[in-house]
Structure 1
Amino acid sequence: MDLVALADFNLVARHGGFGKAARATGRPKATLSRRVTELEAALQLRLFERGARDLKLTEEGRALHERTTALLTEIDETAAAIASGAEKPRGRLRISAPLLLSQTAMGKIAAGFALKYPEVRLEITTEDRAVDMIEEGYDLVIRVNPEPDETLVGRAFLHDRLVVAASPDLPRPVGDLPAPGVVRGGGGSQTWKVTKAEQTAIIRIEPVLVLSSLIMVRDAARAGVGAASLPISLVSHDLADGALVHWGDVEGSEIALWALYPSRRLLSPRVSAFLNFLKHAFPGGTPDELAAYIAR
Structure 2
Amino acid sequence: MNLNALIDFALVANNAGLGKASRASGRSKATLSRRIAELEEQLGVRLIERSARGLKLTEAGATLMARAEGPLNEVVEAMASARDGVSTPRGHLRVAAPVLFSQLAMGRIGADFCAAYPQITLDVVAEDRLVDLVEEQFDIAIRINPSPDSNLVGRCFARDRLVVVAAPEVPRPMPGATRPVPGIVMSASQPGHWTLDGGQLILKPVPTLRFSSFLMIRDAAVAGGGAALLPQSMAWGQLARGEQVQWGVASDVEAELWVLHTSRRLAAPKVRAFVDFIGARYPDMSLLLNG
Offset of 1:278 from its aligned partner? 1.1
Contact 1:66 1:134 in 2 (8 A): no
- 1:88 and 1:24 mapped to 2: Cα distance? 23
- 1:203 and 1:45 mapped to 2: Cα distance? 66
Q: Which residue of the partner structure matches residue 187 of structure 2?
A: 185
Q: Which residue of the partner structure matches residue 195 of structure 1?
A: 196
**Aligned CA distance change for structure 1 residues 19 and 276 (closer, same or farther; 3 Å):** closer
1:283 matches 2:283: yes
Tell me the TM-score normalized by structure 1: 0.87
Alignment of 1:133-144 (within 5 A): 133-144=133-144
Alignment of 1:136-285 (within 5 A): 136-173=136-173, 175=177, 178-186=180-188, 188=190, 190-196=191-197, 198-264=198-264, 266-285=266-285
Instruction: Number of aligned residue pairs: give it.
Output: 289
Offset of 1:51 from its aligned partner? 4.1
Secondary structure of the 2:235 match is helix
**Aligned CA distance change for structure 1 residues 258 and 23 (closer, same or farther; 3 Å):** closer
Q: Which residue of the partner structure matches residue 109 of structure 2?
A: 109
**Aligned CA distance change for structure 1 residues 261 and 162 (closer, same or farther; 3 Å):** same
**Aligned CA distance change for structure 1 residues 88 and 21 (closer, same or farther; 3 Å):** closer
Aligned AA (1:182): I
**Aligned CA distance change for structure 1 residues 28 and 118 (closer, same or farther; 3 Å):** closer
Secondary structure of the 2:193 match is strand
Tell me the TM-score normalized by structure 2: 0.88
- 1:40 and 1:51 mapped to 2: Cα distance? 17
- 2:96 and 2:169 mapped to 1: Cα distance? 39
**Aligned CA distance change for structure 1 residues 19 and 118 (closer, same or farther; 3 Å):** closer
Contact 1:11 1:21 in 2 (8 A): yes
**Aligned CA distance change for structure 1 residues 38 and 202 (closer, same or farther; 3 Å):** farther
Aligned AA (2:9): F
Q: Which residue of the partner structure matches residue 78 of structure 1?
A: 78
Kindly report the root-mean-square deviation, in angstroms, between the aligned alpha carbons of the 2 structures.
2.4
- 1:170 and 1:69 mapped to 2: Cα distance? 58
**Aligned CA distance change for structure 1 residues 33 and 82 (closer, same or farther; 3 Å):** closer
Unaligned runs of at least 5 residues, structure 2: none
- 1:280 and 1:12 mapped to 2: Cα distance? 40
| Percentage of pairs with the same residue | 48
- 1:241 and 1:221 mapped to 2: Cα distance? 14
Offset of 1:71 from its aligned partner? 2.9
Aligned AA (1:222): V
Offset of 1:112 from its aligned partner? 1.0
- 1:235 and 1:26 mapped to 2: Cα distance? 56
Secondary structure of the 1:254 match is strand
Aligned AA (2:290): Y
- 2:2 and 2:180 mapped to 1: Cα distance? 67
Bigger CA drift: 19-28 or 63-72? 19-28
Contact 1:187 1:207 in 2 (8 A): no
